Amino acid sequence: MAATIRDVARAAGVSPSTVSRALSMPDVVSPVTRDRVHRAAERLGYAPNRAARGLITGRTGNLGLVVPDLANPFFPEVVKSVQARAREADCAVLLADTDEDAAAEVSLARSLVKQVDGLVLCSPRMDEEDLRGVTGDVPVVLLNRRCGDLPAVSFDNVDGMRQAVAHLQALGHRSVAWVGGPEASWSHGERLTGLRTATERAGLRLVEVGAFPPYFEGGVAAADQVVASGVTSVVAFNDVMALGLLSRLQTRGVAVPDDLSVVGVDDIPLSGMVSPSLTTVGLAKERAGRQAVDLLLALLRDPERARDARTRRELAPQLLVRGSTGVVRTG
């Protein structure tokens, strides 16, 4: 059995409460006893039982993280950084994958609520009502989504699309296709809005294709419609779909970027590894994950801050120009 606080107390010749204080409020006990306690604790390999502590403090020391689909390369990077930052703060991470199922998302979040101090909901698919329902019970930070004044770390999708269009325009393109993903997704709406605005301003023709599932197969399925539309460039909802596009285009004998320029969103690691490599709107996933945890920890310290404007952070995307975009073929 693991050593308890009473074992340490006995070994150090003090009371359990003194041990507790020596460990969690070191400046309240005399230096002498503090040292004695620390030594005894170390010798016994004592580590406090978090469950017992949580029972009385109401804090578990755990954070919950909910993601739609770990198989999408966007999410592992987020999870990785959330986990890393949480660990720095001595918090464990409870992970839940919802398989893109909004209902499962709600129930998973609900069940996590009881075991964590706070929740990071990454790209949640649930509707606003459910979102606010979950938010009532425990501090929640949204990642890659906005919902009113709820604490959130998001990306400026509109600006990302602006960058993409500026790039395509500079290459001489006069038309763009949009390959849509899940229409219920917040980021999907933002990206489409951004693309509409940017193309209109730039005087480009926009063709909207989709919705398609946000997977490789979705991109494959969209490719022929894109080709048929006669555009010279295409922006996909995300990189995974863009890779599907690339694949099908190659099968069809459509050269990228000579016949068609392709842009994705996310900057998943893979997008730099394929050939031609994929031009993409890069999102700072790692930074976002860390900031989400930071926000959550701040909220834990000071719950009143929840409505503070500083609890909403928006990260700037950065266009990464790679092989899949090129100047439009003339003649």
Residue count, binding to DNA (CB under 7 A): 28
Measure the CA–CA gap between 224 and 245, rounded to whole angstroms: 9
Structure tokens at 221: 């399925």
**Residue 38 CA from chain centroid, whole number:** 40
CB-wise, 8 or 328, nearer to its own copies?
Answer: 8
Residues in the chain: 331
Q: 246: alpha, beta or left, given left = phi > 0 and alpha = psi -120 to 50?
A: alpha
Residue with tokens 């340490």, as numbered in its chain: 8
Site map (CB under 8 A) of its own copies, residues 272-291, x = contact: -xxx----------------
Nearest to 94 by CA among 46, 132, 138: 138
Interface of this chain with its own copies, residues 153 to 182, rule: CB under 8 A:
none
CB of 269 to its own copies, least distance (A): 7
Closer to DNA at the Cβ: 16 or 172?
A: 16
Report, in angstroms and rounded to the nearest whole number, the Rg of the chain calculated over CA atoms.
25
Q: x/- string (CB under 8 A) for its own copies, residues 61-100?
A: -x--x----xx-x-xxx-xx--xx--x----xxxxxx-x-
Residue linked to tokens 């050939």: 275
124 forms part of the interface with its own copies (CB under 8 A): no
Phi, psi of 150 (to 5 degrees): -65, 145
Q: Which one of 24-32, 111-119, 158-166, 312-320 is the stretch in contact with its own copies (CB under 8 A)? A: 111-119
Q: Is the dihedral of CA 210, 211, 216, 221 positive or negative?
A: negative
Residue 212 to residue 199: CA distance in whole angstroms: 21
User: Least CB distance from residue 270 to its own copies, whole Å?
Assistant: 6
Comparison of 125 and 173: residue with beta carbon closer to its own copies: 125
Which does residue 15 touch among DNA, its own copies, none (CB within 5 to 8 A, set by kind)?
DNA
CB 244 within 8 Å of CB 264: no
Give the one residue of 269, 287, 327, 329 binding its own copies; rule: CB under 8 A.
269
HSE value, Cβ hemisphere, 13 Å, CA-based, for 122:
33
Query: For residues 24 and 115, which CB has a smaller minimum distance to its own copies in the complex?
Result: 115
What does 265 bind: DNA, its own copies, none (CB cut-off 5 to 8 Å by kind)? none
Binding mask 13-52 for DNA (x = CB under 7 A): xxxxxx-xx-xx---xxx-xxx-----------x-xx--x
- Least separation, in Å, of the C-beta of 310 and its own copies? 29
Q: How far is CA 68 from CA 101, 153, 265, in A?
A: 7, 16, 17
* Among its own copies, DNA, none, partner that 97 touches (CB below 5 to 8 angstroms by kind): its own copies
**66 CB-near residues (< 8 Å, 6+ apart):** 96, 98, 105, 108, 109, 112, 119, 120, 121, 122, 124
10 binds DNA (CB under 7 A): no
List, in order, residues 6 or more apart from 28 with CB less than 8 Å away.
21
Binding mask 202-241 for its own copies (x = CB under 8 A): --------------x-------------------------
By CB under 8 A, residue 23 contacts its own copies? no
Burial (CB count <10 Å: 0-12, 13-18, 19+), residue 218: buried
Residues that bind DNA (CB under 7 A): 1, 4-6, 13-18, 20-21, 23-24, 28-30, 32-34, 46, 48-49, 52-53, 55-57
